[in-house]
Structure 1
Amino acid sequence: MDHLNSNINIRATGIALPLNVIQSIDIDKQQSWPLGQTEKTTGVASRHYVNDETATDLALTAIHQAIENSDLLLDDIDCLISASGTMEQPIPCNAAKIHARLPFARPIPAFDINMTCLSAVKALDIAHALLSTQRYKNILIVSSEIASVGLDWSVRETGGLFGDGAAALIVSHSTQNNTRILASHFETFSEGVEMCQIRGLGTLNHPANTQGDYRPYGLFEMQGKAVFRLTTQHIQNFVDNLLAKTSYTLQDMDWVIPHQASQLGLQHIEKRLNIAPGKMINIIKHRGNQIAASIPSALHELLQSGKVKTGDKVMLLGTSAGLSFGAIVLEIG
């Protein structure tokens, strides 16, 4: 067992969505696909795409909502973590750009964590460690994703799957009977390293050293069937390894919040893990896959629903490019 069990107070959450709502039927018309094809393929009926908003703009909206929902002031925050799979620009990091737009009274540290779709979950794991050692008192985690800029519309399986948005969490060290992280677990299976990728925008395929049309290098590529097979191969053993760190079984989980990867993926996880009806949080129909913002957005919706009780066990569970698996088990205080 992990014996983590130190208290962590999830003080507040917040989300942000672009104003522009894109219906799947509009994508069908734009791409000259059969009407209903996008929703049938992806399970997404609508999603939000940015117009003029930047990733920083979305992050700020989510942060301000989280601050308003908390009993803290902005200057009570002493560490800022940006946990996103996409970047507004390579340098400086996302967190530095967000920090620059927030009126902090002092220059608190700001840094990025990128584990693609698992970025927020890993950030929560690291924040828990930092809070447990009392390095910081209040840590702000924000995931802000603009997926719509890099979609390959020649591939129906991914073209309409993604949505833009942001989510923020404020977490604090606590000696009171608040939420506990009972276990965290992460694994990476490198045979999946090229199954989800954007080949450009880094040093390997830099625009300055690439001939011809650079646009394809900036598009998201996914071998969907291969990802599905690899996930299927490892998901049960991964969850078993996670729960072995606790005294609980999957049936003891009151809520399961998976990464909103795809409707098919969510249905497969529910069936494969035999999750009881009503326990799994599914928001993909009107959000799409929001990359790292997916899990904290779904957590926000669950916490705002009023359905969660003291003592409830919540599993945050996801996969990310690499191919990596990650999960955290929370006990709500």
Structure 2
Amino acid sequence: MEKINAVITGIGGYVPDYVLNNDELSRMVDTNDEWIMTRVGIKERRILTEEGLGTSYMARKAAKQLLHKTGVDPDTIDALIVTTSTADYQFPSTASIVLGKLGLKNAFAFDFWAACCGFLYTLDVAASMIQSGRYKKIIVIGADKMSSVVDYTDRSTCPLFGDGAAAVLVEATTEQNVGLMDSHFRTDGKGLPFLHIKAGGSVCPPSPFTVDHRLHYLYQEGRTVFRYAVTSMSDDCALIAERNGLNKDNIAFVVPHQANMRIIEAVAKRLDLSMDHVMVNIEHYGNTSAATIPLALWDNEKRLKKGDNLIFTAFGAGFVHGATYVKWGYDGSSVHEAK
């Protein structure tokens, strides 16, 4: 019996129309373009401003574009997984909302929560489901409305984040030289004090006190997170490269989580790669958490060729981190535009 592998066969994406640039942000909080660009490399970010719209709206838009671009029959989709830290509701799952809006009749749906590493971890889970032989087509969506948890009076965090979503179709293949080839994941539970949202969960439920004290917004101790992210993402990429015989001569692209330009540059330096081989869009979108890696793929799809060696890497809250080696499955230049 032929071995089954999982391969990405299409990408769809969505970012809101509203652009919050550094000049406008500097009128909201004590910051400026030079400070933001020097420290993190972000010029602007997209914000979902329409009232009553949440993460599921962006996820649905990305998935709808994916279905249109690939021409796949929606009735053949087996599962839909949304990875997010900004779910529409505590329950039901955001994925169930997206599935209902798309009208998928033969699929089940669930959310996966791994902060900024969500896309990496979810892609691996979807690949394992397909490799089991029980499923053939799975939609994986990374989506976050980070503006919903950002305190726009906190100059240290509000410049960092934006909103967006991107979706990939993961399919079964018996072609052995394409698809998800290897992954390395780790979690360091000591990260809790340094990156979290204090209130809203079962430990600290919502109350007038938590609202008055602005405890429902993201808190980050930037220097500590930066230090761990540089070390973890660089080490994870080096490990994946070493055990798969990858180097600067045969890596087409590294696709890093878009959190900080200095982190991205450190990862490239560790692999001895020029920035021409690193996908970067942080300047225009900021940190969209679980959406950053698939959005980078969406923006750069035309540059991808079948057989390209890619390394995805990310780091997030909980101090989750890892890297994934993917051998790309199709020529992006041949894909019909549907943005």
Counterpart Cα distance in 2 of 1:20 and 1:42: 21
Counterpart Cα distance in 1 of 2:233 and 2:177: 30
* 1:248 corresponds to: 246
Residue identity in the other structure for 1:73 = D
CA displacement at 1:187 relative to structure 2? 0.9
Q: 1:237 aligns with which of 235, 238, 242?
A: 235
Show CA shifts across 1:192-223 (max 9, x none): 23211111111011015x73644522110111
CA displacement at 1:247 relative to structure 2? 3.2
Show CA shifts across 1:297-322 (max 9, x none): 1112222x2x2223210001111111
* 1:91 corresponds to: 91
CA displacement at 1:47 relative to structure 2? 1.1
Say whether the 8 Å CA contact 1:28–1:36 is kept in structure 2: no
1:181 lines up with 2:183 in the alignment:
no
Percent identity of the aligned residues?
A: 26
CA displacement at 1:251 relative to structure 2? 4.8
Counterpart Cα distance in 2 of 1:135 and 1:238: 30
Residues 160-239 of structure 1: pairs in structure 2 closer than 5 A? 160-176=159-175, 179-208=178-207, 211=209, 213-214=211-212, 216-239=214-237
Per the alignment, in what secondary structure is the counterpart of residue 300 of structure 2?
helix
Q: Which moved more, 1:236-245 or 1:224-233?
A: 236-245
Residue identity in the other structure for 1:324 = V
Per the alignment, in what secondary structure is the counterpart of residue 260 of structure 1?
coil
CA displacement at 1:36 relative to structure 2? 4.1
Residue identity in the other structure for 1:56 = S
* 1:293 corresponds to: 291
Change in Cα spacing, 1:265 to 1:65, as seen in structure 2 (3 Å) is same
Per the alignment, in what secondary structure is the counterpart of residue 325 of structure 1?
strand
How many pairs does the alignment contain?
325
Say whether the 8 Å CA contact 1:6–1:180 is kept in structure 2: no
Counterpart Cα distance in 1 of 2:43 and 2:168: 27
Counterpart Cα distance in 2 of 1:95 and 1:331: 27
Residues 15-34 of structure 1: pairs in structure 2 closer than 5 A? 15-34=13-32
Change in Cα spacing, 1:36 to 1:244, as seen in structure 2 (3 Å) is closer
Please list every run of 5 or more consecutive structure 2 residues that lacks an aligned counterpart in the other structure: 330-339
* 1:112 corresponds to: 111
TM-score, normalised via structure 1 length: 0.90
Change in Cα spacing, 1:123 to 1:235, as seen in structure 2 (3 Å) is closer
* 2:328 corresponds to: 332
Counterpart Cα distance in 1 of 2:239 and 2:175: 29
Residues 35-184 of structure 1: pairs in structure 2 closer than 5 A? 36-52=34-50, 53-106=53-106, 108-176=107-175, 179-184=178-183
Change in Cα spacing, 1:267 to 1:246, as seen in structure 2 (3 Å) is closer
Show CA shifts across 1:2-43 (max 9, x none): xxx853232211001111111111111222544644444432
